[in-house]
Amino acid sequence: MENILDRFLRYVAIDTQSNEESESQPSTAKQLNLLSLLCQELQAMGVEAQLDEYGYVMGRIPSNIGTKVPAVGFIAHVDTAPDASGADIKPQIINEYDGGEIPLNGVPGLSLKPSEFPEMLNYVGQKLVTTDGTTLLGADDKAGVAEIMDAVQYIMANPEFKHGEIRIGFTPDEEIGRGVVKFDVQKFNADYAYTMDGGEVGELEFENFNAASARIHIQGRNVHPGYAKGKMKNALHIAQELDSLLPVEQRPEYTEGYEGFFHLIGLNGAVEEADMTYIIRDHDRAKFEEKKQVIVRCCDFINGKYGEGTASPAVKDQYYNMREMVEPHYQVIEKAVKAMEMAGVKAKIQPIRGGTDGANLSFKGLPCPNIFAGGLNFHGKMEFVPVPSMEKASKVILNIISLFCE
By annotation, the residues acting in catalysis are 79, 174
> Residue 253 burial (CB < 10 Å; 0-12/13-18/19+)?
exposed
Contact 16, 1 (CB under 8 A): no
Q: Cα(154)–Cα(241) distance, rounded to whole angstroms?
A: 58
Strands (E), 209-364: 210-219, 261-269, 273-282, 311-319, 348-349
Tell me how far apart the alpha carbons of residues 171 and 168 are, in angstroms, rounded to a whole number: 10
Closest CA to 265 of 327, 177, 155: 177
Residue 286 DSSP SS3: helix
Distances, alpha carbon 372 to alpha carbons 171, 337, 349, in Å: 17, 12, 11
Q: What CA–CA distance (Å, rounded) separates 191 from 368?
A: 10
Burial of 241 (0-12, 13-18, 19+ CB in 10 A): middle
